[in-house]
Amino acid sequence: MRSIKPGRGNSMMEGIACVFTALFGVGWIVTAVSIGAPIMFPLFGIGFVLLSVIKAIFSFKNAFSQNRMSDFDIVDGNEEQDPFNQRFGSPSSRIKSNYCPHCGNRVEDGYTFCNYCGNELSRR
C-alpha cells in the first residue's frame, strides 16, 4: 500500500532562486562600491552572496542526490524507512492527512472512499 509521508529538504527550484539571489548580491556590491557607499553596504552584499551560494550548493546537492529529501514523498510500505522517523517518530501519526494514502490526491474530510482512485480511506 502506498502512503504519503512528510519530507524535509530543498529542491532544484530553490537552488535556482539562490543563484538569482547571489547575482542580486553581486549587483548590490558593484552598485555600493561604484557610488562610494560606506563599507557596511559592500560587506552586507558579500555576506548576502556567501549565504546564497551556500544555500544554492545545499539545494542542488539535495535535488540531484539519490536519497534526496522532499516536502512530500509517496512511498510503498516495503521501502526503506526514513531515518528521521526511526529516530524521532513518524510525524504522519501526529498530522491529520487530507490526502489519499493510495493515490496521493486531496480528499475532503468525512469521505469514506477516495473520489479519484476509489480506494477506501482509513478512519481519520
Residue 87 has φ and ψ, to the nearest 5°, of: -80, -40
1 domain residue, yes or no: yes
Q: Is 100 a domain residue?
A: no
Specify the DSSP element, H or E, that contains 63. helix 40-64
* Whether residue 124 has pLDDT greater than 60: no
Q: Which three cell numbers stand for residue 7?
A: 519530507
114 domain residue, yes or no: no
Answer yes or no: is 98 within a domain: no
Residue 111 belongs to a domain: no
Query: Which domain, by its residues, includes 51?
Result: 1-79
The answer as to whether 122 is a domain residue is: no
In this prediction, residue 59 carries a pLDDT of 85
At 21-73, the pLDDT tens digits run: 999 999 999 999 999 999 999 999 999 999 999 999 988 888 777 766 666 66
The dihedral formed by the CA atoms of 59, 65, 70 and 76, expressed in degrees to the nearest 10: 180
Cα separation, 100 vs 108, whole angstroms: 10
pLDDT of residue 3: 60
In a domain, 74, yes or no: yes
Percent of the chain exceeding pLDDT 90 equals 34
Number of domains in the chain: 1
